[in-house]
Amino acid sequence: MNIKKFLSIKIHKSMIQSGIPSKYNVILRPCKKKIFGNYQINGIISAAIHLKMNPNDLAKKVVKNLKLNNILSKITISQTGYINFFLKKKWLSNQINLLMISKKLGLTENIIFKNIVVDYSSPNIAKEMHVGHLRSTIIGDSMVRILSFVGHNVIKSNHIGDWGTQFGMLIAFLKLKNKKIDFLLSDIEKLYKQAQKKYVKDINFTKLAKYYVVKLQQKDSSCLKIWKKIVNITMNYNYQLYNKLNIKLTHRDTMGESKYHDMIPNIIKDLKKKGIAVNNNGTIMIPIKGIQNKKGKLMAIIIQKQDGAYLYATIDIACIKYRYDIFKADRIIYYVDSRQNQYLNQIFQIVRNAKYVPNNLQLEHHMFGMILNKNNKPFKTREGTNIKLNYLIDESIIRAKNIILKKNPLIKTKILEDLSKKIGIGAIKYADLSKNRINNYIFSWEKMLSLNGNTSLYIQYAYVRAISLLKKANINLNNFLNLEISFISSYEFDLAISFLDFEEIIFKIVNKGIPHLLCNWLYKITVLFSSFYENCNILNIKDIKLKISRLKIVFLTSLFLKQGLYLLGIDVIKKI
Ligand code: ARG
């Protein structure tokens, strides 16, 4: 249940009954001071001003109409018209018992089912993935999990860069040096770097590279052969990395730039016919209204070069059309860094102008900031090159291993391997996901692997405590599903009431693509659980009713922590 929504709907009804126009929404907030209540309604004052009434009188009227005797207790009204109330323990107990049997941890909202394409990770071929791909991969993966969890049909789309100029350079270079490819990805990357250098210096080579891009895009068989090999080598490497990172992408989700190639000639023809694209001395471009460059000239997006080659933008236009035509997408979300925001918005505008998608199709760029080092500069190696993702993951696993060994020097090797992977990878992911994606963030090993604070390890550790309590208790809670929960302290009450915020958080994330809200919520649950654990006796109590009721809260905590971490792409651990 979404407790705020549930209460708000009921309160809104009584506001209308009290003569308040329906446009005045309920503003429901948790009370800042616990002694006043669990929640506060503070939308009454502005309505009172509008109705030229005394806010206290109006609030009294609303309270009279509330009729929530089974749910609320101790309602108080402040002189200025705030309404504070507590929730009845009995009602909360019922909700908690319902959670015990709920299939989806209390999610009840009926969604409007959608086909949602999520464009994420999308590395470029012929290069190893580096830190720059981390955010798109991790945030995209978490969003795929969350959108699927609420019941949408999610189409994962790994838009790999497999059709660009880099292949012209590589093919030209390989042909020139008469080299066969039977390499590792790291060798290809080296060759690519050499080719890039030559491309800038040597005009003849530039021409040759451009010639080969066009040849490849015309599907010349010898070019295609080399291309395929390079793509396979790169992607096989990437699939291993996804696997290690517990990212849901496989070869089935790889839909690279090359996939849309055959659609392009017709699209260009159509865009010209519609007057959206123009031919400027053999270059086909789409002028962008309202945007000028520094010299005051109108800006345009080029979709075909004079030599016939297509570009990144041409492919993105075709790709959106494909996603609508074939996947019947209702919503397409891009997890791409913020530097491409203007570009993507222009592409969205173009496909809308061309009527390739209906007006109600949602096109969203969920952009994100950069990862920085301690000096606020882009997080790179000492030599100034990009940090390889593979290195980063391994480093995190090693650091996690050292932490575990300090706590438990005699741990068995196999368990150590497994734990350090779960902790190390969880740390990298959580550090990223727990930040508002719009902002840059500073990468810090010390912070992300800390046992205290807003980290995955803190949450994973709480999970260990919860399940070991349940194991020690060894009681089948299913036999006590109807037994009322006794809330004797605020420790258990505060934790239990927070469970009812889960649905609200999940749907905010579904709408806006901001998984850091889930991290914040999990952190809150963990903090509340820790104080409950430290302050309340759970196993050594004689009162069996109290024991069962506390164990139910522990059990639900473990479920929420596990599910919450799963939705972030992080595994739980069973011991440490
Ligand atoms: N390969 C691109 C890059 O590394 C990202 C692709 C994002 N998706 C897209 N449809 N343009 O910058």
Question: How many percent of the chain have pLDDT more than 70?
Answer: 99
384 domain residue, yes or no: no
How remote is the CA of residue 139 from the centroid of ligand 1, in Å? 15
Ligand 1 in reach of 386 Cβ (< 6 A): no
273 domain residue, yes or no: yes
How remote is the CA of residue 35 from the centroid of ligand 1, in Å? 52
* CATH number of the domain within which 17 lies: 3.30.1360.70
Q: Are residues 251 and 300 in the same domain?
A: yes
Q: Are residues 47 and 128 in the same domain?
A: no
Closest CA to 327 of 260, 228, 239, 249: 260
Beta carbons of 164 and 257 less than 8 angstroms apart: yes
Q: Are residues 154 and 65 in the same domain?
A: no
Q: Indicate if the pLDDT at residue 290 is higher than 80.
A: no
313 domain residue, yes or no: yes
Q: Are residues 131 and 233 in the same domain?
A: yes
The ligand 1 atom at the shortest distance from the C-alpha of residue 334 is: 8
28 domain residue, yes or no: yes
Ligand 1 in reach of 425 Cβ (< 6 A): no
pLDDT band at 165 (very low <50, low <70, confident <90, very high): confident
Tens digit of each residue's pLDDT (9 = 90 or more) over 515-540: 999 999 999 999 999 999 999 999 99
How remote is the CA of residue 315 from the centroid of ligand 1, in Å? 11
**Torsional sign, CA 540, 544, 546, 551:** positive
- Best mutation site among 159, 160, 348 for ligand 1, i.e. most ligand atoms within 8 A of its Cβ? 159
Into how many domains does the chain fold? 2
Q: Are residues 233 and 354 in the same domain?
A: yes
546 domain residue, yes or no: no
Q: Are residues 251 and 120 in the same domain?
A: yes
Q: Are residues 134 and 258 in the same domain?
A: yes
Ligand 1 in reach of 122 Cβ (< 6 A): yes
Q: Are residues 82 and 124 in the same domain?
A: no
83 domain residue, yes or no: yes
Crossing angle (nearest 10°) for helices 456-473 and 413-433: 130
Tens digit of each residue's pLDDT (9 = 90 or more) over 212-237: 999 998 999 999 999 999 999 999 99
pLDDT of residue 186: 85
Mean pLDDT of 385-408: 94
Q: Are residues 43 and 173 in the same domain?
A: no
Determine the Cα–Cα distance for residues 317 and 280; give it in Å rounded to an integer. 20
Average pLDDT score, the chain = 94
Q: Are residues 71 and 203 in the same domain?
A: no
Range of the domain at 34: 3-87
In this prediction the pTM is 0.95
Which residues on neighbouring strands pair with residue 35, listed in sequence order?
Answer: none
Determine the Cα–Cα distance for residues 135 and 143; give it in Å rounded to an integer. 12
Tens digit of each residue's pLDDT (9 = 90 or more) over 299-311: 899 999 998 889 9
Q: Are residues 153 and 207 in the same domain?
A: yes
230 domain residue, yes or no: yes
The ligand 1 atom at the shortest distance from the C-alpha of residue 160 is: 1
Ligand 1 in reach of 338 Cβ (< 6 A): no
Which of 322, 346, 365 is the last residue before a domain boundary?
365
pLDDT of residue 324: 98
Crossing angle (nearest 10°) for helices 516-535 and 502-512: 160
Determine the Cα–Cα distance for residues 557 and 549; give it in Å rounded to an integer. 13
Mean pLDDT of 499-513: 97
